Structure 1
Amino acid sequence: MTTDTVEPERTLQDCVARGTRSVVRARHPVNAPMLDTWADALGDPNPVYRDAEAAAATGRAGIVAPPTMIQAWTMPRLSALAATLPQVPGYAPYLAGASAHEGSSKNGSPDGRSTDRETDNPAAAVHRLLTAHGYTARAATRCRQQYHREAAVGDHLTCESVLTTVSPRKRTALGPGYFVTTRMIYRDQDEADVATVDWTVLCFRTPEPPAGAPDITTPDAAASDVGAPSAPADPASPTPASGRTCRPLTAAPRVGDRTPVTTIPITPTFVIATAFATQDFYAAHHDADWTRTSLRRPGVFTNILATTGLVGGVVTDWGGPATRLLEVDLHLLAPNHTGDTLTLDAEVTAVTGDEVDLRVTGTNSLGPHVRATVRARVTG
């Protein structure tokens, strides 16, 4: 351990040991326009997110929110993200709006409406500390969501978050950094549990390129360097929504059954639309220039919340509108850069009564993008 990491690591572990919990309320109740925007951006055809009659036909009282959307309700505001990562040029107009009540970072932690002071949020404090020590890049690596019930239109959610672990400094393919994990418990206006989320982000330093390495700040060199397709996407390629259906199963699920294959062209519009729909304003999902120069990536890439939604969609497309997601646990691997194509499918690994376990995999030109397990209740 070098001297420049000793003091940060002590402070990081102090933040974990404090065990301070912050509770914030979502800025808005669960509402139909946000549900429609999310479903539109992800191309999700499940009618229970938009059509009250279709939802009622599945035994629900009305339109419900996609369970995989849970974190979108309390994602950091632009001003909060700007305060945590002020080195991002695109955030400059929002710095004036940042305040001590909006300090957060791209860790899924709530922000904005908390009555706690900024320094009282250990997760935000950890991200500020790591940023100050040069660990300015962020990459979400794992998300486990457990759903206790579906959120419905009108529910006003709160989120209680606590920093659970910060790893020792690790060497990773992206650069040296720390894995920061936060647990978030979402509750409704009656204090009933809605979802529990364990969320891990790698805070890392982008390494300097080796001598003679291609200039990744130009799109052509960047694409060839990472193996992504250098040709533009075929304009005749299907949009994310085309080809996806959400219909009830015609036979009881069995171990070994496979879902239809879902193919998603990763266009700039898809990356930005899904980031907006999930309320994720991290620059790597919309600012190609900053992503190339600061993260040394070939361009913008999809966020983990979009991948979570797509993973859940693989299961609900297959199981039909009555399907209830119970848990999604995923690990992100190779990123989804623009110009690439993501292919997803799943295999049933266990059936217990009406509960089904599936293993979902997603690949692109770089290899595996996501590996996930999903538990769902599937009925006719």
Structure 2
Amino acid sequence: MATETGEPETGELDELLQECVAQGTGSLVRARHPVNAPMIDMWADALGDPNPAYRDGAAARATGRSGLIAPPTMVQAWTMPRLPALAATLRQVPGYAPYLAAEAGPGPDSKASDNPAAAVHRLLTAHGYAARAATRCRQQYHREAAVGDHLSCESVLTTVSPRKRTALGPGYFVTTRMTFRDQDEADVATVDWTVLCFRTPEEAPTAPGSAASDAAEPAQPTPASGRICRPPATPPRVGDRTRVTTIPITPTFVIATAFATQDFYAAHHDADWTRTGLRRPGIFTNILATTGLVGGVVTDWGGPATRLLEVDLRLLAPNHTGDTLTLDGEVTAVAGDEAELRVTGTNSLGPHVQATARARLTV
């Protein structure tokens, strides 16, 4: 049944969604692999992050650490869904077909039965809200994950919004709290993660990116161009600004950062499906890449000894291929050895990300 405006009735669906929230139970997933140097190196290469604490054991020890650390903003990559498992939830994407035969379920290290978050996504997909876009990510870091740590993630569905009208299409905002722990059950990070589940519009919106721009790869600059991880010469003060980071949004950057964060959603690598299935003008960067870039603005400015404490961001205009992202930050508060920064990123469509970050510095 539809309303007088032609919109479908959502009362019954809303009730089912809130029943899932009320269950209050979650799922537990153990990372397939311990924190390891090759994955960290791939992440740093893809994002162009110059922090030597992620690549050089001696440099990491010089900052007071015991050895290599994983970028804190990389924490979600360790427990992201396997490609066959993701393919099984998005059978409408032609490119996933080769992986469906390999579907093996969540695996022995997952306790995902009766998972309310999975039930919500199944309900929304069944009712036509099959497209996904992450919109908000707040990561709080309790300690740095080091090479050799074996992480697990407990996810609990916290809220599902009423149906909303958005620029991407009508949909629901689904928020999950993820708690990451190490092999000793010590807390590593807490993540509040919001995804918009939406219906795609009938007509494609206009934005930078097209079949032509998807094929264009400028020779320069690269994601690492101009990036230096070096502490400031003087203690931070309110009003201090970070260096500006400029990132060309090429197809290689979009795909490399998605795969380095273990995100195999087709909107970040399959241009044909993104245009036809999502009605978007081309592939676009994922939120985990943006989170890594925001964290990098802070650590590039603070230097290798910087300890990130929190990154809280909201995505706005997408980063489509053919565009350019410009990021910079400003110190908004200083208390002892801790600083808070406001980080913004813009592209040709306007603001892409608005973020706050907290870090502990050694100057």
Partner of 2:127: 133
Q: 1:115 aligns with which of 111, 114, 120?
A: 111
Q: CA deviation at 1:233?
A: 5.6
Tell me how large the CA RMSD over aligned residues is.
1.6
Partner of 2:359: 376
Once residues 26 and 144 of structure 1 are traced to their aligned partners in structure 2, the CA distance between those partners, rounded to angstroms, is 20
Listed as ranges, the matches of 1:15-94 within 5 Å are 15-94=20-99
**Equivalent position amino acid for 1:48 in 2:** A
Partner of 2:239: 256
Does the 8 A contact of 2:208 with 2:322 survive in 1?
Answer: no
Query: Greater shift after overlay, 87-96 or 178-187?
Result: 87-96
Once residues 181 and 248 of structure 1 are traced to their aligned partners in structure 2, the CA distance between those partners, rounded to angstroms, is 36
Q: CA deviation at 1:97?
A: 2.3
Does the 8 A contact of 1:22 with 1:161 survive in 2?
Answer: yes
Once residues 143 and 177 of structure 1 are traced to their aligned partners in structure 2, the CA distance between those partners, rounded to angstroms, is 18
Once residues 42 and 278 of structure 2 are traced to their aligned partners in structure 1, the CA distance between those partners, rounded to angstroms, is 29
Deviation track 1:74-129 (CA, whole Å, cap 9, x = no partner) reads 11111111111111111111122224x33xxxxxxxx8731342xx1111111111
Deviation track 1:47-91 (CA, whole Å, cap 9, x = no partner) reads 000100000000000000000000000111111111111111111
Once residues 36 and 289 of structure 1 are traced to their aligned partners in structure 2, the CA distance between those partners, rounded to angstroms, is 30
Partner of 2:305: 322
2:297 aligned with 1:337: no
Q: CA deviation at 1:207?
A: 1.6
Change in 2 beyond 3 A, CA 1:275/1:234: closer
Task: Report the secondary structure of 1:203's partner residue.
Answer: strand
**Equivalent position amino acid for 1:133 in 2:** H
Does the 8 A contact of 1:145 with 1:197 survive in 2?
Answer: yes
Q: 1:164 aligns with which of 143, 158, 182?
A: 158
Partner of 1:96: 101
Partner of 1:148: 142
**Equivalent position amino acid for 1:84 in 2:** T
Change in 2 beyond 3 A, CA 1:132/1:13: same
**Equivalent position amino acid for 2:111 in 1:** T
Query: Percent identity, aligned pairs only?
Result: 81
Q: CA deviation at 1:228?
A: 5.5
2:167 aligned with 1:173: yes
Deviation track 1:189-209 (CA, whole Å, cap 9, x = no partner) reads 000000000000000001212
Change in 2 beyond 3 A, CA 1:186/1:206: same
**Equivalent position amino acid for 2:46 in 1:** A
Once residues 317 and 239 of structure 2 are traced to their aligned partners in structure 1, the CA distance between those partners, rounded to angstroms, is 26
2:192 aligned with 1:187: no
Task: Report the secondary structure of 1:240's partner residue.
Answer: coil
Task: Report the secondary structure of 2:321's partner residue.
Answer: coil
Once residues 185 and 220 of structure 2 are traced to their aligned partners in structure 1, the CA distance between those partners, rounded to angstroms, is 46
TM-score after normalising by structure 2 = 0.95
**Structure 1 residue runs without a partner (length 5+):** 103-110, 210-215, 217-221
**Equivalent position amino acid for 1:113 in 2:** D
Once residues 76 and 276 of structure 1 are traced to their aligned partners in structure 2, the CA distance between those partners, rounded to angstroms, is 12
Partner of 1:8: 13
TM-score after normalising by structure 1 = 0.91
Does the 8 A contact of 1:259 with 1:314 survive in 2?
Answer: yes
Does the 8 A contact of 2:14 with 2:162 survive in 1?
Answer: yes
Q: 2:339 aligns with which of 356, 365, 368?
A: 356
Deviation track 1:246-285 (CA, whole Å, cap 9, x = no partner) reads 0122110000000010000000000000000000000000
Partner of 1:204: 198
**Structure 2 residue runs without a partner (length 5+):** none
Once residues 137 and 26 of structure 2 are traced to their aligned partners in structure 1, the CA distance between those partners, rounded to angstroms, is 19
Does the 8 A contact of 1:42 with 1:241 survive in 2?
Answer: yes
Once residues 255 and 176 of structure 2 are traced to their aligned partners in structure 1, the CA distance between those partners, rounded to angstroms, is 25
Once residues 291 and 167 of structure 1 are traced to their aligned partners in structure 2, the CA distance between those partners, rounded to angstroms, is 25
Once residues 88 and 112 of structure 1 are traced to their aligned partners in structure 2, the CA distance between those partners, rounded to angstroms, is 27
